[in-house]
Amino acid sequence: MEKRNARRTREIVVPGDVLGDSEEYRTGENAYESDGKIRALMMGLKTYTGDAVGVIPMGGCYMPVTGDTVIGIITDVGPSNWMLDINAPYPAPLHVSEVPWKVEFGDTSRFLTVGDVVLLKVLMVDEAKKISVTMKDSGLRKIEGGQLIEIAHSKISRVIGKSGSMIQMLKNMTDCRIFVGQNGRIWIDGDDENVEVAAEAVRIIEAEARSANLTDRVREYIEKKLPQSEGGDDEEESE
Amino acid sequence: MSGHTDMVLVNDEGIRIDGRRVDEKRPIRIEAGVLKNADGSCYLEIGKNKVLCAVYGPRECRPRHLQDPTKAIIQCKYNMQAYSVNDRKRPGTDRRSVEISKLIAEALSSVVQLELYPRASIDVYVEILQANAGTRCAGLTAASVALADAGIPMRDVVPAIACGKADGNVLLDLNKEEDNYGQADVPLAIVPSTDEIVLLQMDGNMTREEFEHGLDMAFKAAHEVNEIQKDALRRRYTEISKKEGDSDE
């Protein structure tokens, strides 16, 4: 956190802006090389990673990556698979062989129906961007109860915080069960009042994602709303 | 291009009816991110033209038969509002709007990284709220800002501007009178980083020298328009961070 603040504020670039010389740097993420110059492909913040220069996007749609944990909503049921909306440009099929239950052919709707929300893992994305997802991993299941909120997927890293500091604080202080999907969906479950506070805290994180000392400000906010909650990064480990 | 008029479009001092010089464009105002429900949006005014543009996607392409398994497609819809012109414009798609939609989609296709999103579709909606000549340029200028605002990867932000000829003078950025009673209208859109041309049409007649002179003016003006576009995009994000600074809710 501190280290990031110490760095000078990062420059906002828009598509076509020159990021650097291709002799000096490698082409990083969301950048392209033309005529010896590295240029931005997206609007975002110019960043150097190693000897590469690239752009951290400030928006755009979620593109699934193998291994991402996401929250999906069932949109269609077939005889041997379910179709899920995972906030990507493409629907994600979930095959019966990828669920933890023994499902007879044509019996899919007994287990999951349209509108159900499930925790998933992205199994594979091929070059045609065909997605396959699985529920066969520890912690993956159908979600019941709680609240589902959606934020920009580019802000998810701030909700998690450095090595999970933000999310750990949220869980400890509000005593909620929270699950963060890489696709921008967040599921919160707990006491009604606590869920409200946690959801509002996430909204604050989304709105102020680019400002400094966010963890402290969010902690202050929760302390104000929930005076009984203990000071954060200690005690009980919830899920 | 069609009618005749006794109006003096360009006077002896080289001043046009709206007070501009021959190589002067109309004042431009661009604002990005004006619509909350769209993935990206832009409002643009150039002179008396008012354009609103919204971008959705990349999202699953519907109808399915338009899908391309190797890349995304851009579907553009250019629409003029019934109240956008003096006499009422009959609402709905017509030959002209189909042409302009195709034009804008093709111009944008050459900068957007479509291969990143196979089978998807990027939908661009251009609404002309008020028209005063040059709406295809205004629409394309707005559409590329809206695309960048939507976070879609693209090589550059495309600016567009027209040049033309009226009263025997080569002019930049024709207004309605100059377009209606002039001799030529040449809309141009470029990729500023490489100076590639992504849109060029000519309606009317010009000599080769006039055409080249007009194009030179338009190229220079397009680069200026591009700066305004980029400024609008940057402003959108500095405004957000300013808001973050002073409020806690």
φ, ψ for residue B61 (rounded to 5)? -80, 125
Residue type (1 letter), B180? N
- Which residue, among B39, B50, B227, has the nearest Cα to B122 in the 3D structure? B39
8 A C-beta contact, residue A66 and residue A111: no
Query: B30, B37, B55, B60: which to substitute to probe chain A, counting the most A Cβ within 10 Å?
Result: B60
Query: Measured between alpha carbons, how far is B99 from B101 in angstroms, rounded to an integer?
Result: 5
From chain A, pick out residues whose CB is under 8 angstroms from the CB of B243: 207
**Tell me, what's the ipTM?**
0.87
Which residues in chain B show pLDDT less than 70? 1-2, 240-249
Work out the angle at residue A117's Cα, subtended by the Cα atoms of residues A112 and A118, and round it to the nearest 5 degrees: 80
8 A C-beta contact, residue B104 and residue B40: no
Q: Is the pLDDT of residue A213 over 90?
A: no
Angstroms from B140 CA to nearest CA on chain A: 16
pLDDT attached to residue A210:
76
Q: Would you call B60 and A91 a contact, using CB atoms and an 8 Å cutoff?
A: yes
pLDDT attached to residue B64:
92
Picking from B39, B57, B241, the nearest residue to A210 by CB comes out as B241
pLDDT attached to residue B2:
65
Q: Would you call B151 and A204 a contact, using CB atoms and an 8 Å cutoff?
A: no
pLDDT attached to residue A225:
87
Residues 95-134 of B with CB under 8 A from A: 111, 113, 116-120
pLDDT attached to residue A228:
72
- Which residue, among A1, A71, A132, A90, has the nearest Cα to B119 in the 3D structure? A90
The continuous run of DSSP H or E covering A39 comes out as strand A37-40
What 3-state class would DSSP assign to A64?
Answer: coil
From chain A, pick out residues whose CB is under 8 angstroms from the CB of B151: 42-44, 57-61, 154
The overall average pLDDT reported for chain A is 88
**Sequence-separated (6 or more) residues with CB below 8 Å from residue A3:** none
pLDDT attached to residue B240:
63
pLDDT attached to residue A232:
46
Q: How confident is the model at residue A8 (pLDDT cuts 50, 70, 90)?
A: low
pLDDT over 90 percentage in chain A:
67
Q: Is the pLDDT of residue A231 over 70?
A: no
Minimum Cα–Cα distance from B38: chain A residue: A60
From chain A, pick out residues whose CB is under 8 angstroms from the CB of B58: 61, 89
Angstroms from B58 CA to nearest CA on chain A: 6
Work out the average pLDDT over A181-210: 91
User: In Å, what is the CA distance from A25 to each residue of A7, A16, A45, B57?
Assistant: 19, 17, 17, 32
Q: Is the pLDDT of residue A233 over 90?
A: no
**Residue found by looking up tokens 């576009």 in the block:** B229
> For chain A, first and last CA: distance in Å?
25
Angstroms from A135 CA to nearest CA on chain B: 23
The answer, for B150 touching chain A at a CB cutoff of 8 Å, is: yes
More confident residue, A143 or A212: A143
Picking from A16, A43, A207, the nearest residue to B193 by CB comes out as A16
